[in-house]
Amino acid sequence: MPKIVDADDQRTRIRSAARRVFAERGVRGTGLTHVAEAASMSRSNLYHYYPDKPALLDALVGEVLEQERELFRDCLETAEAPLERLERLARACGGLFPEWAVFGRMFLDLRLEDAQFLKGLFRDLRHALATVIAEGQRDGSLRTEPDAAIGASILMGAIDGLLLQYFVDPDAFPDPERLAEALCETTRRILAP
């Protein structure tokens, strides 16, 4: 009787192995043979699920970016006051820097090749932030300056810039909890009345 393989489980296993290998070797230094070895499967078996490196990268990047979008939704689409939602997001992002930094090399490599893949993500996340900021500006719980779009861009810049620094030099931020609180305090200073 042939062995029944769950294709979704296999793809998940491959992406998990790919995350580790891309984080360790970078995009340019990783071939599908490396990923297949890390996933404990043959290269031909891996090709059954991902026919080439760009297909695997697309799936992996899509998964990581969807996780980030989900985090923003979970933090920003609640019934809390706007500032509380923004503070929740700042804490969550700061707390995830150690986990996100694992993908830093992969994203740096991809940014150097084609930064366009991040354009939609940044646009979506800025829009989500700007929506919450505008709500707080309308109800008077947040300052009216900077305007919502600029405030969202500043917060995204702080999050993304700190993440990049964390990837390059994690020793600069030995306490992720303290970093998360500092990001939260910065958010308050920029937006609280």
Determine the CATH number of domain 61-191. 1.10.357.10
pLDDT at 72 (0 to 100):
95
pLDDT at 1 (0 to 100):
59
pLDDT at 101 (0 to 100):
74
User: Helix, strand, coil: what percent of the chain each, to 5?
Assistant: 80, 0, 20
Taking the C-alpha atoms of 132, 80, 85 and 143 in order, what is their torsion angle to the nearest 10 degrees?
Answer: 50
Q: What is the pLDDT along the chain (193 residues), one digit of tens a residue?
A: 566 778 889 999 999 999 888 878 877 888 999 999 999 999 999 999 999 988 998 888 788 888 889 999 999 999 999 999 999 999 998 888 877 777 776 777 666 566 676 788 889 999 999 999 999 999 999 999 999 999 999 999 999 888 888 888 878 888 888 888 999 999 999 999 9
Contact 143, 191 (CB under 8 A): yes
Looking at the whole model, is its pTM more than 0.85? no
The topology under which CATH files domain 1-51 is: Arc Repressor Mutant, subunit A (1.10.10)
Domain extent listing, the chain: 1-51, 61-191
Same fold, 1-51 and 61-191: no
pLDDT at 67 (0 to 100):
86
Angle, alpha carbons 97-16-32 (nearest 5°): 120
Angle, alpha carbons 149-153-155 (nearest 5°): 115
Contact 153, 97 (CB under 8 A): no
